[in-house]
A and B are shown apart, each in its own frame.
Chain A
């Protein structure tokens, strides 16, 4: 039961001697890492791209999730002939530790057969990236052509560059920040309190009670989902439109379309996500403060970095606003790093990074091609079937 296995929804690396020392001081010996790869590793092992997923993501950015049949969360960005081109690159995506899509997390079973629950150690973004390093070691990939991710995935990208810079040739942090802001922590705290207040949470031991804090988790998702959208996008999509009715109910049903939409988001979320994982992963994001890890100066996190960076933000993203990206870019400049920075005009809010944004795609294609030239990787053949 040790080593690489194929499972119904990708691959598993199962280790019983992982000795993964976490930021909180504890050690994970038994470690399962769920991952998926696309494309082919070249002979030089120089074309590997790691995709880091966000808070509620998984290791299926491209193609269908074999378990659910749903399209991958970044299917427009990753795949054959797409900006992250799996015909040219060997693409790896791993479910973060603490998650609930196959990697070791609070819902994983311990040796005695019981789930960790709240006995699972509090993990950090640094720990997630350490686990990704373990996977890379076991796959015998010396370094990454590119690390790319949005939101919490972008935090992992920055952590890679700062803590494992020698393994990073290029980095694309999207819609992210080098620290979680007070406002962001505040929203996460609301979500966690909703879970903790649900009587079905049972102090984290809901599995033993054959239940789950569905209402609490749904409310957490509803609150969070608002932060992923922009006021303009909500207004455009829903306005004050009523849901399945002509007049107000003078009650507390879902009168408005936006209420119905949020309830649906909450309810469908609980079917695919574990409440304890939500607690642990939001905590990991809250703890993220790269400057603090390097004596308070963010530029020091990137001292002597040789990686080239492409920082991307969106105009209507108020969860990870452009000002956070500008702070990051200034620190990278101060460190003398090779950095590009693009702010994309979009009214879709934080979620824009997951959506069809042609300007973001052009940016990433251009950046990756330039990086490929610098790395000595072949450029794509110019095809006649180019659509303008």
Chain B
């Protein structure tokens, strides 16, 4: 969900960059499942720019209703419990935009995603970013950044991780990092294969393209 307040502090731009980067990794005319599709902004972008057959799964009722009244094929459901009802390899690409850290069982969600689609696109706020490390190290406080703006007691992000943490989990699940797009100060960096410790220090946001 896009929070209208977010535009004031720059979150909207960051969200927008995230969506544009994800769209750049989606091939034209493919079948796409967007898990945690919010109000359908990414799906609409993908349909318009990439001519995809898009389906969405969204937890919030307002999000789903907004999507369906925009003509998008979206169902109400929970990433933690409802992915098992999707058929094996029913999609070319399965997308999880800024949602992994809010799931109860991220590992199982990734497993289900790799069962449902051949390509996974996963974006996360990078908890390894130096500013976050600094906030905890110097101030001794849970970090609040543009991408992670809620207080510790209100945040929906219960499974935050750094991009190297996620890379380790991908290794465990035999998922290969094909592409890694990182965002630092609004600039995009492109790399292939395993990300470096330096990237982990500098990236505020990361978009992974993963294959089985």
Contact = CB atoms under 8 A, between A and B. Distances in A.
Interface of A: 308, 310-311, 326, 329-330, 333-336, 338-345, 359, 362-363, 365-367, 369-371, 373
A341 B67 CA distance: 10
Contacts of B73: 308, 338-340
A367 B64 contact: no
A373 B69 CA distance: 14
Which 5 A-B residue pairs are closest in the complex by CB-CB distance? Answer: A370-B71, A366-B69, A341-B75, A330-B85, A362-B69
Nearest to B47: A370
Interface string B59-72: 00100110111111
A366 B76 CA distance: 16
A363 B71 contact: no
Given A341-B64, A343-B61, A345-B61, A365 B75 contact: no
A281 B63 CA distance: 38
Nearest to A363: B68
B113 interface: no
B109 interface: no
Contacts of B75: 311, 329, 333, 339-341
B76 A343 contact: yes
Nearest to A325: B76
A365 B76 CA distance: 18
Contact of A373 (B53, B71, B76): B71
Given A342-B64, A371-B71, 12 more contacts: A326-B77, A335-B87, A336-B87, A339-B75, A340-B72, A342-B61, A343-B64, A343-B76, A363-B68, A367-B69, A367-B71, A370-B71
Contact of B65 (A362, A370, A373): A362
Contacts of A338: 53, 55, 73
A345 B74 CA distance: 17
Interface string B73-92: 11111000010011100100
A380 to B, nearest CB: 13
7 contacts: A333-B75, A340-B72, A342-B64, A343-B64, A365-B69, A370-B70, A371-B71
A363 B69 contact: yes
Contacts of B61: 342-343, 345
Chain B CB within 10 Å — which of A333, A359, A366, A370 has the most?
A333
A344 B70 CA distance: 16
A330 B82 contact: yes
Interface of B: 53, 55, 61, 64-65, 67-77, 82, 85-87, 90
B68 A367 contact: yes
A344 B64 CA distance: 10
A342 B55 contact: no
B90 A336 contact: yes
A326 to B, nearest CB: 8
A363 B85 contact: no
A342 B86 contact: no
A369 B68 CA distance: 10
Nearest to A344: B65
B41 to A, nearest CB: 15
A340 to B, nearest CB: 5
Contacts of A336: 87, 90
B58 to A, nearest CB: 10
A286 to B, nearest CB: 27
B65 A359 contact: yes
A338 B71 CA distance: 12
Nearest to B67: A340
Nearest to B82: A330
A227 B184 CA distance: 58
Contacts of A369: 71
Nearest to A374: B71
A341 B76 contact: yes
Given A308-B73, A338-B73, A333 B68 contact: no
Given A334-B86, A336-B87, A342 B71 contact: no
A367 B72 CA distance: 8
Nearest to B69: A366
A366 B70 contact: yes
B72 A370 contact: yes
Nearest to B31: A336
A339 B77 CA distance: 12
Contacts of A362: 65, 69
B8 to A, nearest CB: 24
Contacts of A335: 87
A341 B74 CA distance: 6
B74 A340 contact: yes
Chain A CB within 10 Å — which of B53, B61, B65, B75 has the most?
B75
A336 B73 CA distance: 12
